[in-house]
A and B are shown apart, each in its own frame.
Chain A
Amino acid sequence: MIPTLFVLAYLAIVLYIGVFAFRQSRGQAEDYFLAGRALGPWVFLLSLFGTHMTAFAILGSSGHAFNFGIVTFGLMASSSAFVVPVLLLFLGTKLWAVGKKFGHITPVQIFRDRWECGHIGTLIFFLQAALLIPYIIIGVMGGGTTLSVISGGLIPFWAGGLLVAVVVMSYVFFGGMRGTAWVNAFQTVLFLTFGMIAVFVIGNGMGGFSTIAEKMLNDPKTAHLLSREKFSPLAFLSYTFNPLSAIAFPHIAIFCLTAKKMTQFKKTVMLYPLCILLIWLPCVCLGVFANQAQEIPAMAAKIDMKMATGRPVVADDVMLQLLGHFAPEWLAGLLGAGIMAAVMASDSQILALSTMFTEDIFTFYGARERFGQKAQVTTGRLFIVLVTAFAYFTALNAKASIFDLAVQFSFAGFSAMMPLYVGALYWKGSTKWGALAATIWVAGATIALFYAPRGFTVMGLAPVVPMTLGAAFLLWMVSILTPKPSANTVERYFSV
């Protein structure tokens, strides 16, 4: 009961932050959707990181590590620690500069202006929206799972998911980007602080990690979880393509436009790898060592099922089970709130979708001129309600685990869209027809992936590799065969 009260108190605090941000707002579109392009350096770092680390990073990573072992850290964390800051340094700063220079708010606005296109931008909007929805759904799933486990089943999955969806929707609805950024910064501090405490408390409760590691190494059934022997080098290599999605995620790209000065990227680029290390290492360690937590009935059932079938089991709640069993109630409550903080990072994705809809569709097709800026913000808020409701009802029937959902659709699709950003910002010769070819390729490949069997590979490589390389090839091939944008437009973008 006590942990549940802590989590509910936490939800009340973030709701208040959203309302407080609402009082600071000025009612303008740029103020609501980009916090007036005025976020300071620390809020920018903590909030951007909090936006990137979601239910996937906390619950999905420990669940995946429970099934596959330490390889999870190499697959997603250490590759992200290198690739994501590089993307922020070379693409994030350029996005910020172009957004600042020409007043753009969304990636599609940049593409439309850079390639002198209209409806191709609309197609890119629809693809981005379709790929982002699964990511919003896993946020609702994570919220439902967290509240259900922490309350010992007192709050069922459907009610937990509903409560989280309503709270997130409310502070995004009122606070816009400013509220979302403040909440994300608060969440990141909360989780970084209590995540480390969780490791020590749970480690002690389990009898010390050294003892567990020795036990696991001496048991042939679990020894492989402490190395990568069961994972092919090609599959391992292909996972390094997943972090390319970071800059193509609309919520990250849009967030890059909120910085007050470009120098604010410096701190973010330098500290990002360490933040990733601090979040992922504890989660992966706890996920792996949970294979020895036989004294927890729910964990014993998972371990037995895994051993009996030889197949991975749904384990998104591993971290929460360990917490509930080994931490004192007050600490479990604080840590539960911290986990909830990370899980609720779907706020920025919901806001990004709303921003994209109001800018790329509502404004582009003339509605802002007819109805004004206030109507645009109101439309954005209505869109937030609709997206949240859709995500909630879909999450109730989702069958896959958080890790699988994120990797299979969102990461693969957005990684394959990354060449569009490189083409638009770094290659004078790229054209709208090249962008169209790449977009159709990504859309087609994602649909094909939906029907492909789980774990499908192409010559041993995960689908993200051919999807990304195919998009890059088509962008290049079609661009060299088709007419370029006007010299004036190219000059505007490349006169640095």
Chain B
Amino acid sequence: MKIAIPLLLLAYYALHQDFWNWTSARPLLFGFLPIGLTYHALYAIGAAALMALLVKVAWPSRLEAWAEK
């Protein structure tokens, strides 16, 4: 877990660079959202899903108990 989580975070960070949609605007989602903007909007939604996963598997519950003690 100590290696898997940093690797997962690093991989998701790398996806932010979005090398695929650098110079193209088409296709336009809903007729007006350029592909680059669509990609990054989906990236933010993906980040929310990733955070939900991290809260499940990497929540520092021992830290909470330590602070309350």
In this complex, the member of A228, A261, A276, A284 whose beta carbon has the largest number of chain B beta carbons within 10 angstroms is A228
Query: Which residues of B have CB within 8 Å of A266?
Result: 55, 59
Q: Which residues of B contact A240 (CB under 8 A)?
A: 13, 16
Asked if A229 contacts B67 (CB within 8 A), the reply is no
With A89-B54, A229-B23 already in contact, the answer to whether A97 and B66 are too (CB < 8 A) is: yes
Question: Are B47 and A81 closer than 8 Å at their CB atoms?
Answer: yes
Q: How far is the CA of A96 from the CA of B63 in the complex (A)?
A: 10
Cβ of B7 within 8 Å of any chain A Cβ, yes or no, is no
B62 to chain A minimum Cβ distance, whole angstroms, is: 6
Complex contact A281–B41 (CB within 8 A): yes
Q: Is A74 an interface residue (CB 8 A)?
A: yes
Given contacts A89-B55, A217-B26, A237-B17, A277 and B63 within 8 Å (CB-CB): no
Q: A82-B43, A82-B47 are in contact. Are A213 and B62 (CB under 8 A)?
A: no
CB nearest to B38 among chain A residues: A70
Tell whether, in the assembled complex, residue A74 and residue B40 are in contact, meaning their CB atoms are under 8 Å apart: yes
Let me know if B18 and A273 touch, CB within 8 A. Answer: no
Q: How many angstroms from the CA of A274 to the CA of B31 in the assembled complex?
A: 22
Nearest-CB residue, chain A, relative to B43: A78
**How many A-B pairs fall under 8 Å by CB?**
137
Of chain A, the residue at the smallest CB distance from B62 is A496
Alpha-carbon distance between A266 and B48 when the two chains are bound, in angstroms: 12
B36 x A210 contact (CB < 8 A): no
- Chain A residues with Cβ below 8 Å from B26 are 217
Query: Which among B18, B36, B66 is the interface contact of A496 at CB below 8 angstroms?
Result: B66
Asked whether any CB of chain B lies closer than 8 Å to the CB of A233, the reply is yes
Pick the contact of A100 from B12, B24, B45, B68 — CB < 8 Å?
B68
- Say yes or no: B63 contacts A93, CB within 8 Å: yes
Contacting pair A97 B22 (CB below 8 A)? no
Q: Is the CB of B12 within 8 A of A82?
A: yes
Contact with B along A207-225 (1 / 0, CB 8 A): 0111011000100000100
B48 and A271 contact, CB distance less than 8 A: yes
Question: In the bound complex, how far is the Cα of B12 from the Cα of A79, in angstroms?
Answer: 10
Closest-by-CB residue of A relative to B69 is A101
Instruction: Please determine whether A209 and B13 come into contact, CB atoms closer than 8 angstroms.
Output: no
B20 → A minimal CB distance (Å): 11
Residues of A within 8 Å of B25, CB to CB, are 217, 223, 226-227
B1 CB → nearest A CB, Å: 13
Contacts of B21 in A (CB 8 A): 227-228
The distance from the CB of A96 to the nearest CB of chain B, in whole angstroms, is 7
Cα–Cα distance between A86 and B52 once the two chains are bound (Å): 11
A209 touches B31 (CB 8 A): yes
Q: Which residues of B contact A285 (CB under 8 A)?
A: 32-33, 37
User: Does the CB pair A273–B66 fall under 8 Å?
Assistant: no
CA distance A496 to B69 in the complex (A): 11
Chain A residues within 8 Å of B18, by CB: 74
Q: A386 CA to B55 CA in the complex, in Å?
A: 41
Contact between A273 and B44, CB atoms less than 8 A apart: yes
Residues of chain B lying within 8 A (CB to CB) of residue A100: 67-68
Check B44–A78 contact: CB distance below 8 A: yes
Contact B22 A213 (CB under 8 A): no
Does A273 lie within 8 Å of B51, measured CB to CB?
A: yes
Chain A residues with Cβ under 8 A from B44's Cβ? Answer: 77-78, 81-82, 273-274, 276-277
Whether A93 and B48, one on each chain, are in contact in the complex, defined by CB atoms closer than 8 angstroms, is no
Q: What CA separation (Å) do A276 and B59 show in the bound complex? A: 22
Compute how far the CA of A273 lies from the CA of B31 in the bound complex, rounded to whole angstroms: 24
CA distance A89 to B59 in the complex (A): 8
A273 touches B45 (CB 8 A): yes
Contacts of B48 in A (CB 8 A): 81, 270-274
B32-A233 in contact (CB<8A): no
Given contacts A100-B67, A228-B22, contact A210 B31 (CB under 8 A): yes
The 5 closest A-B pairs by CB, nearest first: A210-B31, A209-B32, A97-B67, A226-B25, A81-B44
A-B contact pairs, 12 of them (CB 8 A): A70-B37, A77-B44, A86-B9, A93-B60, A212-B32, A226-B34, A227-B21, A228-B22, A233-B17, A277-B44, A281-B37, A496-B62
Q: Residues on A close to B: CB < 8 A? A: 70-71, 73-74, 77-79, 81-83, 85-86, 89, 93-94, 96-98, 100-101, 208-210, 212-213, 217, 223, 226-229, 233, 236-237, 240, 261-263, 266, 269-274, 276-277, 281, 284-285, 495-496
Interface residues of B (CB under 8 A from A): 9, 12-13, 16-19, 21-26, 28, 30-34, 36-37, 40-41, 43-45, 47-48, 50-52, 54-55, 58-60, 62-64, 66-68
Besides A273-B44, A281-B37, A496-B62, 18 more A-B contacts (Cβ < 8 Å) are: A70-B36, A73-B41, A81-B44, A82-B13, A86-B51, A89-B58, A93-B60, A100-B68, A217-B26, A223-B25, A262-B67, A269-B51, A269-B54, A270-B48, A270-B55, A273-B47, A281-B41, A496-B63
